[in-house]
Structure 1
Amino acid sequence: MNGPGSTGTAPAAAAPATDPGAALHLRVEDVTYAVAGRPLVDGVTLEARPGESVGIVGPNGSGKTTLLRCVQGVLRPVSGRVLHDGADTARLSVKERARRVAAVPQDSGGGFGLTVRQVVAMGRSPHKRFWEGDTARDAAYVHEALADTGGAALADRPFDELSGGEKQRVLLARALVQRPALLALDEPTNHLDVRHQLDLLTLVRALPATSLLVLHDLNLAAYFCDRLYVLAEGRLVADGTPEEVLTEELLAEVYGVRAEVRVHPATGAPTVVYLPPAAPPTVRRAVPPTAAEGFTTGATEGAR
């Protein structure tokens, strides 16, 4: 484990007051998902033990988001199984899945005129009957989740007026009030400045819930995740601890980059230092045709 409680020293965070539900054991067994016969995820197997933070990394278009949506139950694999504490998610109702899993998507979507407080309160829906209103307990969960994510001052603002980073924090607050056993986060640090990236991932690590995170920043993944799974073209190409996975050879093969992997002197986590390409890219600039090739300026046209 490279994050809090391991060889490094992460930003301290108290356990959130929202007190999410107990962590679940996630198993993804040989999952394939295809569109028009083309596999976007191809025979992937992974595991996240209760309370672990597990990262999914890989280049753009490698199937990370698709795999995460299969874990959530939003997409149905064409083969393979997703198990939550041994229960096949294909046999669970939508509401039961929502009680177990909360998602923080890449795209915040629209707020439909709702305030931040109302958007966060929607996270309580899986725990209610259709006609039930919000209770004092629900209001307390919302208040605490906004405080935990640094969004208390945003509570009465229209969601649609927020910046991308503010929306991301609100969506995490909505996930927290679901009290999930599994958090599925798709590039949760998108739109966030450095401080809020660290705050968000430190908060996620402090939760008792199991967390599955799609991340692009390999150094954040190395520090905050217990284990990493690397996807390329829909296939699993490597898995293990960050120390086992993040090698210079893998970075060259999967990402096509030159890099050195070092041990961070303060945290002990692997740190990727990117190097310039061996040969600089060739930049081709279009050369405008000459007058002899039939090109005339506006001034020349006017003189004719």
Structure 2
Amino acid sequence: MTAPERTGAVELRAEAVRYEIDGNTLLHGVDLTARPGETVGVVGPNGSGKTTLLRCVYGTLRPTAGRVVLDGVDAASLGVKERARRVAVVPQDASGTFGLTVREVVAMGRSPHKRFWEQDGPGDARRVAGALETVGVAALAARRFDELSGGERQRALVARALVQDPGLLALDEPTNHLDIRHQLDVLGLVQDLTATALLVLHDLNLAASFCDRLYVLDAGRVVASGPPGAVLTEELLAEVYGVRARIGAHPTTGAPHLVYLP
């Protein structure tokens, strides 16, 4: 895949973000920074608060305390459309797409840049076509989105985020349902964008290969952060994930490579 050019990468700061619901604290004062153009991964075991943090960043959840800052502006002060011009989301599951074609779903990414009565113009159509081509689903443009496989839907959602022209791309498990080739394609595309990217990932080898920095969450707290080589240690994997592993350097990329032990 060839990455389309992007401008205006956003700096993201999560400052002491706390989130509570029904008396349960899911995030305990999380601090996170993603500098303009960085690819930052959030990793951790199930239930550690990764998706909750991502939802606080893109605005479907409002932190109980602390704040999310985009280029020095408190995100809570931004309107829905203004925030959507800065942050695009690739969720695990898409809602509100029943009966729409793939082209129509991808074109939804242009809506933050339009007045509600505006129709798509030739420029929008070119952006949509280019994004479909970029993620490898141009041949599926006229298909109904809900008829696609999980991997095809995931790539279409990446295309929708691309046409939004975001300064920050927030992705929740973007490799879900993808075969190995498309996992590498999608993460390579994200890595090549000039936009800032914040990714929630389960696969630690993919996180080590494609992320500039990692934040490890455990029970709603950041327990480690930094470059993958500094963060992913055998001791951390034992403590946070409860697994034994050996970590070496990938023979081609030099990135940390994890081998799990029985």
Aligned-partner SS, 1:165 = helix
| 1:1-304 pair list within 5 angstroms | 14-16=2-4, 19-109=5-95, 111-276=97-262
1:209-251 deviation line (CA, Å, top 9, x unaligned) = 0000000000000010000000011111000100110000000
Aligned-partner SS, 2:246 = strand
Question: In structure 1, what residue type is equivalent to 2:185?
Answer: D
Question: In structure 2, what residue type is equivalent to 1:137?
Answer: G
Distance in 1 of aligned mates of 2:33 and 2:172: 17
Q: Which runs of 4+ in 1 moved over 4 A?
A: none
May I ask how many residue pairs the two structures share in their alignment?
262
Aligned-partner SS, 2:251 = coil
1:70-109 deviation line (CA, Å, top 9, x unaligned) = 0001111011010000000010000000000000001133
Give the superposition deviation at 1:14: 3.9
Distance in 1 of aligned mates of 2:9 and 2:195: 4
Are the aligned partners of 2:3 and 2:134 in contact in 1 as well (CA < 8 Å)?
A: no
Structure 1 residues not aligned, in runs of 5+: 1-12, 277-304
TM-score by length of 2: 0.98
Identity of aligned residues (%): 70
Check 1:14–1:158 CA distance in 2 against 1; reply closer, same or farther (3 A cut).
closer
Question: In structure 2, what residue type is equivalent to 1:149?
Answer: V
Aligned-partner SS, 2:45 = coil
Are the aligned partners of 2:19 and 2:65 in contact in 1 as well (CA < 8 Å)?
A: yes
Are the aligned partners of 1:110 and 1:160 in contact in 2 as well (CA < 8 Å)?
A: no
1:164-195 deviation line (CA, Å, top 9, x unaligned) = 00000000000000000000000000000000
TM-score by length of 1: 0.85
More strand by share: 2
Give the superposition deviation at 1:110: 5.4
Distance in 2 of aligned mates of 1:68 and 1:228: 14
Distance in 1 of aligned mates of 2:115 and 2:7: 19
Are the aligned partners of 1:29 and 1:81 in contact in 2 as well (CA < 8 Å)?
A: yes
Distance in 1 of aligned mates of 2:56 and 2:44: 17
User: Superposition RMSD on alpha carbons, in Å?
Assistant: 0.9
Aligned-partner SS, 2:117 = coil
Are the aligned partners of 2:2 and 2:134 in contact in 1 as well (CA < 8 Å)?
A: no
Distance in 2 of aligned mates of 1:198 and 1:273: 19
Q: Which one has the largest radius of gyration?
A: 1
Moved more, 215-224 or 106-115: 106-115
